[in-house]
Amino acid sequence: MTWQNKIEFKKRVREWAKKLEMDIHSLAVRPMKNKWASCSTNRYLNFNKEVLDLDEDIGDYVIVHELLHFNIPNHGKLWQSLMTAYLGDYKKIEKRLKNIGNVS
């Protein structure tokens, strides 16, 4: 199942932010050429509009991935352990995302 629109997706991002106890200063869904999402130290989140077409579990992966980068700038052991804590076997989801290919 995918999201119906940006509003529904943004609601999901805010739900995850609350669960992870993260503040978001800006949230946008827009065209992006090379990434599924990006974040900044100012707590700005940008998601590629194509994320709306992803299965919800893959979208959750992208959301949690970016939110964790607010506090953890790398993909080290702490980041990996938190991904596992929130998403379980996130590497299976990550593999599915990679199999989708490059974003347009």
DSSP 41: T
Tell if the pTM clears 0.85, that is, is over it. yes
The CA-atom distances, in angstroms, between 18 and each of 45, 102, 103 are 15, 30, 28
Per-residue pLDDT of the chain (104 residues; tens, 9 = 90+): 667 789 999 999 999 999 999 999 999 999 998 899 999 989 999 999 999 999 999 999 999 999 999 999 999 999 999 999 999 999 999 999 999 876 64
So where are the chain's domains? Answer: 6-100
Phi, psi of 17, rounded to the nearest 5 degrees: -60, -40
Distance, first Cα to last Cα, the chain: 21
**Domain 6-100: what homologous superfamily?**
Metalloproteases ("zincins"), catalytic domain (3.30.2010.10)
Contact between residue 86 and residue 64 where contact means Cβ atoms under 8 Å apart: yes
Contact between residue 45 and residue 66 where contact means Cβ atoms under 8 Å apart: yes
